[in-house]
Amino acid sequence: MATMSADVQTDENLLDKVQRSTLAYFWDFAHPTSGMARERSNPVDGYDYLQTVCSGGTGFGILALIAGIERGFLTRAEGLERVQHIVAFLAKAETYRGVFPHFLHGETGETIPFSEKDDGGDLVETAYLMAGLLCARQFFATPAPREDDLRAQIDKLWHAVEWSWYTRGRDVLFWHASPRHGWALEHPITGWNECLIAYILAAGSPTYPISPAAYHEGWAKGDVFRNGQSYFGIELPLGPAYGGPLFFSQYSFLCLDPRGLRER
């Protein structure tokens, strides 16, 4: 990866510095075996930060690689090789009906529990991962053997996600499923928050799609879905008071273009 100049004199240079630094986390600090994004870069008691990688964060990292290629920070060949490396690891990692856990061991691909009962599939983190992979599938679209193979391998991961199973036969998606604790966390995914992309991908799945009712009756009837109030002179159509954390309005739209979207 190209080196970063320490001299920041203009807005453009500052943006370059921020983008290069962001990419460096996913490129230089990626786990050496899996190529996936590490959950954190600082030691915490009782937590192996060097071995713990995250599924959703890796989706974000793949997007950073694509942006880095477009900006000329990486070559196309470098980015392709890294995404191939990640996809090959994911193909052997532990999943739960195609859904990845929040944390995985970067060497073995085994689940690292996020909490005592969150030790299985994490549908929302998987959505972020799949969104990044699908963007990579569309980016590496050259009719060449390596890119053809990458697209085929991404399709296998994408088609394996059993979105509809995570509705439990109801009109809503559920966030977590554990092979040991079942649905003990009892966490339906309702809006408005960062999870919109999970419903978009679940509705668009070619293999395990959810019904429109899951979106309209589950997601869109959340307790903090509709707002309509004004804050500091800005009308907020959706979400909790003052909008909530910034990631509510960031994560889904890293891959989903919000321009022109309408909600009935």
pLDDT tens readout for residues 180-216: 999 999 999 999 999 999 999 999 999 999 999 999 9
Q: Two tokens at 219?
A: 């997601």
Predicted model pTM: 0.94
User: What CATH fold (topology level) applies to the domain 11-254?
Assistant: Glycosyltransferase (1.50.10)
The residue extents of the domains of the chain are 11-254
Spatial CB neighbours of 191, under 8 Å, sequence gap ≥ 6: 219, 220, 222, 224, 225, 238
Between CA 138 and CA 152 the distance in angstroms is 12
Looking at residue 222, the DSSP 8-state letter turns out to be -
The pLDDT tens digits of the residues spanning 137-155 come to 999 999 999 999 999 999 9
Selection from 230, 231, 221 nearest residue 199 by Cα: 221
Between CA 38 and CA 254 the distance in angstroms is 19
In the chain, what is the straight-line distance between the N-terminal and C-terminal CA atoms, in Å?
45
Strand-pair category, 234-238 with 103-105: unpaired
Instruction: Specify the residue for token string 């793949």.
Output: 62
Q: What is the mean pLDDT of the chain?
A: 95
Between CA 135 and CA 139 the distance in angstroms is 6
- Judged against a pLDDT cut of 70, whether residue 6 lies above it is answered with no
Amino acid at 228: G
pLDDT category of residue 7 using cuts at 50, 70 and 90: low
